[in-house]
Amino acid sequence: MQNTDGWHSQSSEAVLSAFESDSKIGLSQEQIEKQSALYGRNKLTEHRGAGPVKRFLMQFHQPLVYILLAAVFITLALQEWVDAAVIFAVVIINAVIGFIQEAKALQAINALSNTMQNFATVIRSGARESVLTEDLVPGDIVVLQAGDKVSADMRLIKAKDLQIDESALTGESVPAEKTTTILASNSVLGDRTNMAYSSTLVTYGNGIAVVTETGDATEIGKISNLIATTKTLDTPLTKRIKKFSHLLLYAIIVLSAITLLVGWAHGKPVLEAFMAAVALAVGAIPEGLPAAVTIMLAIGVGRMAKRRAIIRNLPAVETLGSTTVICSDKTGTLTKNEMTVKELWSGNQIFELSGNGYDPEGEIQSQQEDEKVPANIAVQETLTAGLFCNEAELHAPNSEHDQWHITGDPTEAALLVAARKASATESISVAERLDTIPFQSEYQYMATLHKGAGENLVYIKGSLESLLPKCNSALDTNGNVKSINAEAVQAVAESMASRGLRVLAFARKAVAGDVETISHQAIENGLEFLGLQAMIDPPRPEAARAVDACHSAGIDVKMITGDHALTATSIAKQLGIVNENETNATITGHELAVTDTSEWPELARERKVFARVTPENKLALVEALQSRGAVVAMTGDGVNDAPALRRADIGVAMALNGTEVARDAADMMLTDDNFATVRAAVEEGRGVFDNLKKFIVWTLPTNGGEALVILIAVMLGLSLPLLPIHILWVNMTTAVCLGLMLAFEPKESGIMQRPPNSPNTPILDSVLLWRIVLVSSLLCLTAFGLYRLELLWGASEAEARTVAVAMFVVGEAFYLLNCRSLKRSVFSVGLFSNPLIWVGMGTMAVLQLAFTYLPLMNTWFYTAPIGWDSWLRILFCGALISSAVGLEKYLRYRDKAAPPAQFLSAGAH
């Protein structure tokens, strides 16, 4: 049964009547069978995607892979078995790596289903019994107690001090206090205090509720459906590679066709002309590029892991470098998710508390004067009240890698930490607790009675609204009782609340020494007001620096949270997300709900804080930002974040305190749940993209030069200077030994002071395309020229071709130094800042010498030994290519660059 206005807007009697249920008797067996047949089992539908075979085959559905597969078939047709085997191995390795990564990304729905494998206590046919949560049906009467996991959506009938942790669903950092009051129909999810939702946790009190929704109809079921139906987008890298591959494919086809036609026009047999076209195609295909991209991304994954960011999907590494907007959850990411007392008002003085979280390191300092806390009796008593009137426990770290942690309510734990900062736990003798009035939502306070010397003391903590009317006096700094200024207290509390702080009031009352029990009537009046403690889930100190660094990098940071607007805005201002004087930066989920969806993209761009939002709101906000061309990174830890995490260009989940659902929906996990790690990951992502660009700029001239050599030979009617097997040798060995060393290049200075890589711009701009053409031409001229020169001086065809192959290898080695930076000199980068460059060059030298002088290699590759004079000419031409590129960079960037002498040797990014 659906209720369009929401069950929260109906009375509990009306809800019971709708399901023909009774709060004391529950459903009969006949009704249960009827409801079960109507609504099905209380579990989520498993949304199955493509099977493993299809997912593996989809790894081949990439333009670059199509080009490589075409090369495999062509080389097989030519009976070049070694060539075909090598290229096919590259294709298979890429497919396996991609399949393994993708296999981990489809578990979110199963994780949601697993959250429902529990038992629930129900009232059926007038008797209590425990049933599997899967057997719950709408109309069931469920008994809720502290520690229970709510297993369906329910309307509360009774609530006794009931508090439920809904952080995974709403993002609110403190447990929600529950009531049975009828609410407005437009109340957002986080404000529906008369409802209990599936997957949330009862932290305090007890209650009775009637099940209203089960399975897919629950709020968590709706989120499950959002995850299953949310489309994931291609990353900026995959889009660029796809576009680049299409252009490359067209170029290869055109050049091969020209080669075939020219050869045929010169009177060569069709088969011979076709062989020349095949040689050109093999030369133009960058066989090492797909493997290099995969390996470079994998190296980036390793680097990020060292900075506490675990990447699930390889392309996500580069996506971080293109991120233009980061939408961050507040609780636990920008904040510590540890309530902390930040201000204390007592004895008409304001005190500030340093430190964050549950670590008791910190001090209490007066704003008015340099007064020591132990001398201020009012402050001591305020801290004592928070210490005694408390059910939480604070636990020290068990090891050097552990952290301070708590058992119990986070608000009460914050009071324990505040007391320890003032050494109150040492100076206050532990007084025996005689009686307790637990917190009750209708009274809004908790009281404890303690044994004293002569007379006993009652300490009370609660909301200011509940305690202030009961106080007729206040304690001053010297411990004297004086009249209370209620207006002053109220003004201080309002000032604290306006800054997003949660305010608690503290009072005490002396009773006779023989009194061992207390009642609400006993503390109805005559209380001595002690003070206020104001707390907040504080921002992480490093998060503010990370936000500032993101702004410097041209990345917009937005907060999307289920918490209240006032609290969210206060934290956003402390972090620098919102300017101190900015007044129109926050919008709530309720305001979004009444706004036309056509206005969402502009609102998403303009506003910086989105409070009290639902999972659907979060998903829609991500989509709205993407509709304006933004590359969005979304962070989150709760079930409510999962759909937006999946839709974002890169979803970032919290590994420590995040839900399994959020982790499985994300592309990246933070092992320290820290926003600063997102900034570090963005920096690494930019470094990976830079190095990928360097590799492409380095590798394409090889293919261009080889294709030009073949094309010129055909046009002049000459024999081919390079055979297909020679081309494959150059492409594969140089890619592995030389090009991949660029993956280890350190990040260049200023990487976080430049704007993000625009997702709409091609990988290569006009400057880099010109450089590729320049180097391709130089490689072609030197290789073809040396080949013809060797033949003129009497060398054999095999020797001349060996020189041509060596020229490409040596030319690429020299050019590699230029590519260590695309704008700056290698000397400014540092000759030995990447020692693996020299390891790669040494390895390539050994392989090339083997290629030239080992008889077995001469047989396999149709090569022959060459003399030292040939090597001198090759080395001279290699140095000439490097100097030409260095000069080109100097002339282009001389206003920003180092002296010309540095550029003439090698250049850089």
Query: Greatest CA separation found in the chain?
Result: 121
Tokens of 661: 């659902």
In angstroms, the CA 907 to CA 487 distance is 71
Backbone angles phi, psi at 44, to 5 degrees: -85, 145
Question: Under a CB-based contact definition with an 8 Å cutoff, are residues 698 and 766 in contact?
Answer: no
Q: Is 329 a catalytic residue?
A: yes
Q: Is 472 left (phi over 0), alpha (psi -120 to 50) or beta?
A: alpha
In angstroms, the CA 733 to CA 852 distance is 14
Residues whose CB falls within 8 Å of the CB of residue 182, separated by 6 or more in sequence, listed in order: 8, 9, 10, 11, 194
Residues whose CB falls within 8 Å of the CB of residue 776, separated by 6 or more in sequence, listed in order: 700, 701, 703, 704, 705, 708
The DSSP-derived string for 3-36 is -TT-GGGS-HHHHHHHTT--TTT-B-HHHHHHHH
User: Measuring CA to CA, which residue among 730, 729, 709 is closest to residue 718?
Assistant: 709
* Residue whose tokens read 């090339």: 848
Question: Under a CB-based contact definition with an 8 Å cutoff, are residues 317 and 649 in contact?
Answer: no
Tokens of 256: 């091969």
User: Measuring CA to CA, which residue among 330, 267, 319, 272 is closest to residue 297?
Assistant: 319
For the chain, report the end-to-end CA distance as a whole number of angstroms.
64
- Helix 868-893 to helix 766-792 angle (10° resolution) is 160
Query: Strand, coil or helix: what is 581?
Result: coil
Active-site pick, 83, 329, 641, 664 = 329
Query: Strand, coil or helix: what is 225?
Result: helix
* Residue whose tokens read 């470079």: 296
Question: Under a CB-based contact definition with an 8 Å cutoff, are residues 341 and 418 in contact?
Answer: yes
User: Measuring CA to CA, which residue among 363, 339, 358 is closest to residue 397?
Assistant: 358
In angstroms, the CA 297 to CA 684 distance is 11
Rounded (to 5) percent helix, strand, coil in the chain: 50, 15, 30
In angstroms, the CA 810 to CA 620 distance is 54
Residues recorded for the chain: 909
In angstroms, the CA 520 to CA 527 distance is 12
User: Measuring CA to CA, which residue among 419, 300, 232 is closest to residue 683?
Assistant: 300
> Which letter does DSSP use for residue 164 in this model?
E
In angstroms, the CA 668 to CA 540 distance is 20
Helical residues (DSSP H) of 323-409, grouped into ranges: 377-388
Number of H-type helices and E-type strands within the chain: 33, 27
| Sign, CA torsion 612/615/619/620 | negative
In angstroms, the CA 788 to CA 596 distance is 72
In angstroms, the CA 649 to CA 731 distance is 33
Question: Under a CB-based contact definition with an 8 Å cutoff, are residues 177 and 204 in contact?
Answer: no
* Residue whose tokens read 């709530």: 588
Tokens of 562: 């289920």
User: Measuring CA to CA, which residue among 847, 867, 742, 868 is closest to residue 799?
Assistant: 867
**C-alpha to C-alpha distances, 615 to 226, 227, 353, 628, 646, nearest whole angstrom:** 9, 10, 35, 21, 12
| Residues annotated catalytic, as ranges | 329
